[in-house]
Amino acid sequence: MSSAAPPTILTLKQELIAEQVRLLSQPLAPSRAWRAGNNASAQAAGDNGGSAAGATIPERAVEAAMVRVNHRLHQHVNRVYASAATRHVAEQLEQLYLMEREKAIEMHPEGNELQAMGISSSTDFADAKTISALPGNWPLEKDGETHPVEVKRFAELTESLKELSLQREALLLRVRRLRALRDGLVSFQPNTDDADDDNAAAAHVQKHLVTKNGELEQELERTRILMARVGSRVARLIQKESQNKASTVGSNDEDSLFEDREDSVPVALEEDARRKVTDLLDLF
């Protein structure tokens, strides 16, 4: 199962800036508290005969002012936060990160050895390929003397991580197999709202397909029993013919090859036939 490539620093910073620009581009509106105070002042002015009319702002004037302010805000956002400008800022942030990384490598040369093995701060340790490529032991031998506990812990975590990665891969394979099986059975689903209606579901299955307790299962069971009977008769005829070649084969006292006698069928053969039919149906 292929995983998407991890996002770069440039992509992450562009997304962050775009989100901030979106927040700054939201239209402005008076707060509820201000509107409540303005309405209260207007009501008080009405009760006092218009003496406090200068303390209130008409709603129409407020709406007109908000339209002009939001228009100016929209123009400002288009000029200042253009896509080219935001990308330029994101590129500058990326360059700062890379410069800091180079300085850290110069101060800690052992980081080059880890990067050569694919271990860095940007490594995606959830990827199956990365997990399988991890070394079993900490690659820097000098750290084994100064930090023995951490080195031992690294080995334990690496082993556990590889086991969990294998289990995850097995589960993903099973999920894909089950989904493919589910998609293949969509056409056999009943069109009724009752999901427990087995008869409605069976009506959508063709007669020649193998289903639990279906016609083909019953026919297979009868065929197995018939084969067991025929095999038993043939074996008995051959045995009697070898014992007495002079006797007449097929006389009145001889068992017919296709005589319908339930007691002549070996129990083991009949049970084996039933088991084979059951095993066949369990595969579906």
The reported pLDDT for the residue numbered 176 is: 94
CB-facing half-sphere around the CA of 268: CA atoms within 13 A: 2
pLDDT for residue 282? 67
Task: Find out whether 164 and 171 touch, Cβ atoms under 8 Å.
Answer: no
The pair of structure tokens assigned to 135 is: 């070394």
Q: Check residues 25 and 151 and name the one with the higher pLDDT.
A: 25
Residue 102, token pair as written in the block: 């180079």
Q: How confident is the model at residue 172 (pLDDT cuts 50, 70, 90)?
A: very high
pLDDT tens digits for 196-244? 555 555 555 566 566 666 777 788 888 888 888 888 888 888 777 777 7
pLDDT tens digits along 116-155? 556 666 677 788 888 888 888 877 777 667 788 888 888 8
Give how far Cα 11 sits from Cα of 18, 31, 118, 226, 256, Å: 10, 35, 22, 72, 85
Asked if residue 26 lies in contact with residue 74, where contact means CB atoms within 8 angstroms, the answer is no
Per-residue pLDDT at 8 exceeds 90: no
- The two three-digit tokens of residue 266, written as one number: 């070996």
* Inter-residue long-range contacts of 76-82, CB under 8 Å, 24+ positions, other chains counted: 77/21, 77/24, 77/25, 81/21, 81/24, 81/25
| Tokens coding 145 | 């003397």
Share of the chain above pLDDT 70, in %: 63
Is the predicted pLDDT of residue 249 greater than 70, yes or no? no
More confident residue, 118 or 44: 44
- Amino acid making up residue 136: G
**Per-residue model confidence (pLDDT) at position 128:** 85
Q: Which of 45-59, 193-207, 262-276 has the highest mean pLDDT?
A: 45-59
In the chain, what are the domain boundaries? 9-122, 206-282
Contact 93, 14 (CB under 8 A): no
Any residues with CB less than 8 A from the CB of 150 and at least 6 apart, and which?
A: 138, 143
CB–CB of 204/190 below 8 Å? yes
Grade residue 262 by pLDDT with cuts at 50, 70 and 90. Answer: very low
8 A C-beta contact, residue 18 and residue 86: yes
Contact 255, 233 (CB under 8 A): yes
Q: Quote the pLDDT of residue 169.
A: 94
Alpha-carbon distance of 57 to 50, in angstroms, equals: 13
Give the residue-averaged pLDDT of 37-42: 82
